A and B are shown apart, each in its own frame.
Chain A
């Protein structure tokens, strides 16, 4: 009988390395602030919670994105799904605001899923088309300006109030994380996602209704993006054109830094969580250093490349 030796599984490696890198970012930032201002704001719980609050929107988008990436697909429509959900929620207003926003997410997810799963159009291009259709719909809806309606009190409360001293947005993020993590780990649907992502043909032959799995995954991604959009509207008190644009690429980067394979079939939710925190803290340290946009972009790209060179390397083709 072989005794199981506790060793670092390949799936856990990215999580440990990324966590280590978070510590590096925090210490570099602290050294910087200590040497220039003599204080260490990065280590104060209040500051960290505030950063996590702004990061929770990215976290929710990334959670949905991860489900789709696990299938080997990608959802490029999250940016305008967020904006559309936020705009429709503020337009409707009242008690129905949040349900309407979420419904937009479900609708977009169904369209995306139908195109990818049933029409068999590559997700890269289909979700891109859906994204531009959503943009067109919102421009037609608002006349190209920011709508005047403001977010409802409940939306604001979800995004910017505090519960027991902790921003409530973090609780929403945690709730979404729990649901996604349990779904991926403990439900048949979650296992079917991994199976389909690894080899759709094998999954199909084993009786998994892969089309429905893909459809449902895109709905999950759409709902997550819509939730993030509704909360972002609550955070900034209103919806505006292009409010989701800054979330697409960081969401993909967070998922990939967390060790999820871009071709699908492999990855853990904890990794995505760590990836989001890494990107949020990297951004906040760079803004503390008052790094100009140019430097940010270069550092941002270099960090992704370096992290992936450490643990994201594929296998050499040998046969």
Chain B
């Protein structure tokens, strides 16, 4: 072995797409802050993270079935359902609020399990099965909340959508003005929530046998079967995880907006945006390549691009057009692959 490469170089080479997305995000956000009149302020960071949490969670939810080589068209609907559930149960005493949050997340997870069971034991294509279960989820959401509204406890709504200082101050855990605390009191709570769930749930899952099996199914299902992997368990786990992440999105949306809204159009738009975020993050729609952290970055890239519309003077009527063109351009970037391919046959699946 000449040219023995260091593990670090290998890691960088293997994740060049992911690193590219991170650099793109950092550059975009840096320029955004430079252009913004209140750039580099904690208030702006809090506002931006708040507006990104729902789509970030949904993008992570979408990633897991996509890694299988499927698609989950119900993630937006599950988010809507859990949003409506949360708007009913997340209020009252602290114990009730905590229980309500658990119930909300359990609803999303249970719906994900149902998706997984239908796909595995019903042997239906995920894309069409989740299209149908998505309709059911939106229907249930409408049962719970025929008109937008509901209440979410004000304290938790305030504490979880601001910085750490407000969180500590609201619940009086300790003196929020303490000197040791001041250096990171500005950190937005939504940012922490996303990081904790992304790294606390996704990364451990990815390294379990079930998580590796998800990747294996996406790469070559037949080979995964012949290797003796438990395909059914991995598929159910993938949809369950998607349901859990979508539940997180719904719960946060309820906390952020203090209400539930069973909006069919919104559910559809969120689902489609989650697919876009997954693709921008570099996860292959054919399965087997990518990850939830990459989709997190992809979702953030799309969000930051839409933030630009607020500071760049652009006719509001042209805004949807520019957004569409950016999305189209972003997904067409992958087309450069076709120019590099030497064997035409490699282009056909």
Interface residues of A (CB under 8 A from B): 76, 115, 118-122, 124-126, 128-137, 139-140, 143-144, 200-201, 204-205, 210, 245, 249, 252-253, 256, 262-263, 292-302, 304-305, 308-309, 312-319
Contacts and interface: CB of A to CB of B under 8 A. Distances in A.
Contacts of B129: 305, 308
A137 B321 contact: yes
Nearest to B119: A314
Given A133-B328, A139-B320, A318 B124 contact: no
B131 interface: yes
B104 to A, nearest CB: 19
B265 interface: yes
B337 interface: yes
Given A124-B71, A126-B332, A315-B123, A249 B131 contact: yes
Contacts of B324: 129-136
Given A119-B338, A125-B279, A136-B323, A314 B131 contact: no
A128 B122 contact: no
Interface residues of B, number: 61
A205 B125 CA distance: 28
A126 B118 CA distance: 28
A128 B125 contact: no
B349 interface: yes
14 contacts: A119-B335, A119-B338, A120-B337, A121-B332, A125-B275, A126-B328, A132-B323, A133-B324, A139-B321, A293-B142, A305-B124, A312-B125, A312-B128, A319-B226
Contacts of B46: none
Interface in B323-349: 323-325, 327-328, 331-332, 334-335, 337-338, 344-345, 347-349
B252 to A, nearest CB: 24
Choose among A132, A135, A140, A318 the residue with the greatest number of B CB atoms under 10 Å from its CB: A132
B106 interface: no
Contacts of B322: 136
A134 B116 CA distance: 34
A144 to B, nearest CB: 6
Nearest to A302: B136
B332 A304 contact: no
Interface string B109-137: 00000000010001111011101111111
Contacts of A245: 265
A62 to B, nearest CB: 14
A210 B272 contact: no
B42 to A, nearest CB: 33
B335 A124 contact: no
A297 B139 contact: yes
B342 to A, nearest CB: 15
B317 interface: yes
Contact of A308 (B71, B128, B331, B348): B128
A144 B328 CA distance: 21
Contacts of A130: 324, 328
Given A139-B317, A297-B142, A312-B124, A129 B328 contact: yes
Given A119-B335, A132-B327, A300 B272 contact: no
A115 B330 CA distance: 12
B146 to A, nearest CB: 7
Choose among B146, B225, B320 the residue with the greatest number of A CB atoms under 10 Å from its CB: B320
Interface in B42-82: 71
A262 B133 CA distance: 16
Contacts of B327: 128-129, 132-133
A165 to B, nearest CB: 36
B216 to A, nearest CB: 12
B140 interface: yes
A126 to B, nearest CB: 6
B331 A121 contact: yes
B347 to A, nearest CB: 6
A38 B160 CA distance: 57
Interface in B189-218: none
Contacts of B344: 204
Contact of B320 (A132, A302, A304, A314): A132
